[in-house]
Chain A
Amino acid sequence: MRRKITAFDIVVVIILLFCTLTCLIPLLNTIAISFSDKTSAALGQVYLWPKNFNVTSYREILKEPQFFRSFGNSVMIVLMGGFMNIFFSVVMAFPLSKGTDVFRLRNIYVWIIVFTMLFSGGLIPSFLLIKSLGLMDTYWALTLPSAVPVFSVIMVMNFYKGIPRALEEAAWVDGANPLYILFRIYIPLAMPVIATIALFAFVGHWNAFFGGKIYINTPAKVPLQTYIQSMTAQIDPSKLAAMTPEEQLRQQELSVLTFNAAKVIVSMVPIMLIYPFLQRYFVTGIVLGAVKE
């Protein structure tokens, strides 16, 4: 039976339409700029459709070996860090999902990891820490500090709580040990929420650029977003003051809008490819992770 369309529905649709446009228009604009010619882009004449369509920016990107190297680095970091995140979330959430009758210090652990969500040491202590651990210039520096994503742990933990106890008890009676229960029963059931945290992990690692900036010393090992960020870096206006005209000229050559737009689009492609496949889990995953029995 069809529900009547109320005024409320219309308002909701309008608001959602507005949000969609706000997200979509900058993307379309960037795509259009990447396919336009340099002058039109600089003059700000490109809106949603390319002007003087050409693919020179993309061709230029393909000529740069560092772009591909950084792309490969990011893929590696995403795989490494992503799977570490998923593994740790899934395994850590299991004991934390038990009550205090089974696991006495459970609350303490939860408070400790929640504490890390709220407070952090800051930039210099983190830098000193990574340096003294000898992790400088390695991918461990980018993946280990964030290896346990607390938000994901809590989501999976709540999901596990929602799994009927009867299942576990039945397996227990049949002689299963906790590891078996975790890997053979809980994880297969938790696929929706695992898809969700996998998406968080992959996207998070793919988009991270700051760690690459301060911890990676060799340019060849730089991840993709750091590389792109270094190409599109805006020079501090106060430095323009003492810049010689030659330096200003070089700066101008650096920031070609079409080139940068093309780089941004190319770096978005992998995530946009994965997302549709994981999307159907996304909505159910978050909701399932939130509801407790």
Chain B
Amino acid sequence: MKAKKILAVLMMFLILAGALVGCGDSAGSQNPGGGSQADEDLMDPWSPYPETVVITTARSYDPKHKWGPEQSMEHNLLTDMIKEQLNVEYQILWQVESTEFLNKLSLNLAAGDIPDTFTIHGVNDYLFYRELVDNGMLADLSEAYDKCAGEYMSEVFDTYEGRNLEPYYEGDALYAIASGQYGYGHSLLWVRKDWLDQVGLDVPMTIEEIEEVLRAFVDQNVGGNNLGFSLDAVNPIGRYASGFTGNAIFYALHAYPNQWLRDDEGNVYWGTIAPEVKDGLEILARWYQEGLIDKQFMTRTNSGEKEALISSGQTGIWFGWWGFPWSMGDLYKTDPDLELVAVQAPLDADGNYSHLWPAPAAQAVVVSKDCANPEAVIKTINVEFNIWRGFDAENKKILDDFDPDGLYDQNWDNMFPTGGFNLEYNNIIPSVGQLAKDMIEAGTSDVPGHPHNTQHDRNMAQSAMEYAQGIKPDGWADYYTRYIGSNVAAESGTIIYNEFPFSTESMADLKPNLDKLTNETFLKIIVGELPVDYFDEFVEQWKAQGGDVLTQEVQAMLDR
């Protein structure tokens, strides 16, 4: 009897205690202390605040990057300059390694804590952004953007013709400042010229010519252990800017897999199920059978493994972006005969070259509705890039003097309070390529260049020039990327835009399975386990397993 009574009381306490846990006062969103109201005088790109404005933020960091002495995310040269010029301070609530950022942010939002500002990816995290907007958690930045965007930001965004901000407008309200994603990163054909000379062939421009070169390389075992063409083990078909895939072969056949495209009637369709893809698969399957593709490509899943094939001299022809030579490490030192050539190939039957274009937006800065001074964030961006691009020469010199060898160059996204948000012209790659070309042809770094060129661009172009002149052997990578690669990428070709780079609701559930189905089926077709005609059945499967649903959703989003 007594025991039962005690038990009852105990249970009651336990339940009460459990119920009271949820009532805890959550830390409460940070109110920016002492921030002045946004006066009309302050709504311009540069004017500092009379009283210090504190903006809370959450940051994602890249653990690999090195900090200079006495520098940290909370306190570094750049944050000091921002405080000096704008009287704005950034208080970092928490930081986490980049792949965990969205998870931790979601947890904190569930707990009711939203930082004043944070940076997410405009395309990858688009659904997350949509949820924030639909729940009314973000501030409308349209006025702040109109009045406070600096000259540089406006100029840069002009080169994208508004495509970077378009997805973030709801009527007249703008909820995210998304940087544009510059293009020209499509895959070029890289070939080792020294090997071409060895087999006595010209640079291949069509699919047939590529096949001829491959056959020559493999048959004559150029390089000692020639494995042929190397494909990606997970996704052999590739997408925009993927290296080591067969992507450009498909483009020459007018197939554009892994993209949403519009047909002539304006209906959207997924590029992978187009009938032209079958032709591309047929070629790859035939190559594999004839030994022109690395027989072991399916096992090369380690990161850096395919690049290692190049540095160990086992393959001499591959698809990669203009900056590919940067991943070739020290090969130019160990293999002095190494000479590369890059072309936009293969051409289609009419001799034209077509390629993809990236999604319009990259990193996006958003501001919470509770922030008293959203325009402070835009002003911060102005100051950040004013210094970083060298327009504020005095402060840039301070940064340069601190880091003369450029050891901490890559650390800019940890230094900037707005994280990885980057402002870059849409045509930055061609313009630096042109600058390098001008310098090399003139033989001096004293060329006018493009008004957009910054000191950093000039340094790179100069490095390329010095390599060409033979005075800087370590400029090898800069030469091949900025001079060779960039200029090839800048040549005209037909651009195929991605109709819909974002996600829809069902994509999180359905797309991974569909992608897996696609990759597995294509891999099997390439290695010959399944006949090429299986492709038709694959298309039916793709549609049935959710492809049709996704197509409808994308169509609905586009027609909105």
Contact = CB atoms under 8 A, between A and B. Distances in A.
Interface in A250-264: 250-257
Given A238-B512, A249-B326, A219 B61 contact: yes
Contacts of A231: 63-64
Interface string B403-446: 00000001000000000000000000000000000000000000
A213 B100 contact: yes
Contacts of B185: 244-246
A230 B63 contact: yes
B22 A128 contact: yes
A257 B323 contact: no
Given A38-B304, A137-B94, A239 B124 contact: yes
A282 to B, nearest CB: 35
B521 interface: no
B248 to A, nearest CB: 14
Interface residues of B, number: 65
Nearest to A219: B95
B99 A235 contact: yes
A211 to B, nearest CB: 13
Given A217-B96, A245-B185, 18 more contacts: A39-B311, A124-B110, A129-B21, A131-B113, A217-B93, A218-B94, A219-B73, A219-B95, A237-B234, A238-B511, A240-B242, A241-B258, A242-B358, A243-B241, A249-B323, A250-B62, A251-B303, A253-B64
Nearest to A124: B110
A1 B7 CA distance: 59
A246 B24 CA distance: 45
A257 B301 CA distance: 12
Interface string B1-24: 001001100100000000001101
Contact of A245 (B100, B107, B124, B323): B323
Nearest to B2: A104
B123 interface: yes
A22 to B, nearest CB: 21
Contacts of B94: 136-137, 217-218
A55 interface: no
A233 B308 contact: no
B61 A127 contact: no
Contacts of B234: 237
Nearest to A256: B304
B400 interface: no
A180 to B, nearest CB: 28
A214 interface: yes
Contact of A218 (B95, B302, B410): B95
B107 A214 contact: yes
Interface string B298-323: 01101111011101100000000111
B361 to A, nearest CB: 9
B555 to A, nearest CB: 20
A105 B308 contact: no
Nearest to B107: A127
28 contacts: A42-B302, A42-B303, A42-B308, A43-B300, A43-B309, A44-B300, A44-B305, A108-B10, A127-B107, A131-B111, A134-B27, A217-B96, A230-B97, A231-B64, A233-B100, A235-B99, A241-B239, A241-B258, A242-B358, A243-B241, A244-B358, A245-B243, A245-B322, A245-B324, A246-B185, A246-B323, A250-B410, A254-B64
A131 B104 CA distance: 13
B548 interface: no
Contacts of A124: 107, 110
Interface of A: 38-39, 41-44, 66, 104-105, 108, 123-124, 127-129, 131-134, 136-137, 213-214, 217-219, 227, 230-231, 233, 235-246, 248-257
B3 A105 contact: yes
The 7 A-B pairs of least Cβ separation, nearest first, read: A132-B24, A217-B94, A230-B97, A42-B304, A245-B321, A42-B308, A255-B303
B515 interface: yes
B501 interface: yes
A66 B410 CA distance: 18
A134 B26 CA distance: 9
B170 interface: no
B241 A245 contact: yes
B362 interface: yes
A219 B94 CA distance: 9
Nearest to A254: B64
A246 B305 CA distance: 18
Contacts of A213: 96-97, 100, 104
B359 interface: yes
A132 B26 contact: yes
B374 to A, nearest CB: 24
Contacts of A243: 241
B299 A252 contact: no
Contacts of A39: 308, 311-312
Contacts of A41: 302
A43 B303 contact: no
B181 interface: yes
Contacts of B299: 44
Interface in B1-53: 3, 6-7, 10, 21-22, 24-27
A233 B97 contact: yes
Given A254-B64, A255-B304, A257-B303, A242 B100 contact: no
B99 A236 contact: yes
A227 B100 CA distance: 12
Contacts of A131: 26-27, 111, 113
B486 to A, nearest CB: 12
A256 B329 CA distance: 13
B121 interface: yes
